[in-house]
Amino acid sequence: MPAKTYEAGSDQRTVVIAFDSLAQATTTHDSPGYQAALAALGDGAERDIRLVEAV
């Protein structure tokens, strides 16, 4: 959890994962393994996934 938030900062846990490319991130999300994990977890967590390309 954040120790302190400012501006529009969300007081929730944030996880950042870096992939080598947007295509790799998309492929990982759409993979059978990830989709199976989502099905197993069900609605156990609220997910907010954003794919952002590096500059």
Q: State the 10-residue block means of pLDDT for the chain, 55 residues long.
A: 84 88 95 95 88 85
Within a domain: 41: yes
| 31 found inside a domain | yes
Residue 7 inside a domain? The answer is no
In this prediction, residue 39 carries a pLDDT of 94
pTM (predicted TM-score)? 0.70
Q: What is the pLDDT of residue 25?
A: 95
Encoded tokens for 19: 């992939």
**12: its two tokens:** 């929730």
Sign of the four-CA dihedral 47, 13, 44, 16: positive
| 35 in a structural domain | yes
Residue 3, domain member (yes or no)? no
* Distance from chain centroid for Cα 54: 15
Cα R_g (the chain), whole angstroms: 14
| Tokens describing residue 17 | 């994962």
pLDDT value, residue 35: 95
- The verdict on residue 33 lying in a domain is yes
Of 13, 9, 8, nearest to 48 by C-alpha is 13
**Range(s) of the domain holding residue 39:** 16-55
Confidence at residue 18, expressed as pLDDT on a 0 to 100 scale: 93
Domain count, the chain: 1
Give a yes or no: residue 32 inside a domain.
Answer: yes
